[in-house]
Amino acid sequence: MKITTFPEASVTIAKDQPEYLSMPAHVASDGVVTCCWTMSWRERIRALITGRVWHQVMTFHAPLQPQLLSTVKPDLESWEGA
């Protein structure tokens, strides 16, 4: 999977951190961060057959924040604080 930009993206996470991939994201006023990923055809077929998507989060031993994966784009509000 590859991270992709989208019209509502308001920040780029890890923009100046060469050890990480930059991640376009939308940050809402309630602190919810939304990003978008695209799948290659091979990944789409694999997900269709297995029904599984693996997700890893680098927490650096900090508490894990709630996560949500979805195939439906959420409603994204405009927020000037990002």
Write the pLDDT tens digit of every residue in 17-69. Answer: 999 999 999 999 888 999 999 999 999 999 999 999 999 988 999 999 999 99
Strand order in the sheet with 23-27: 11-13, 23-27, 33-34
Q: So what's the pLDDT on residue 58? A: 87
* Count of C-beta atoms within a 10 Å radius of residue 12: 13
- pLDDT on residue 80: 66
CA dist 11 and 34 (Å) reads 10
The pTM of the whole model exceeds 0.85: no
Confidence of residue 77 (pLDDT cuts 50, 70, 90): confident
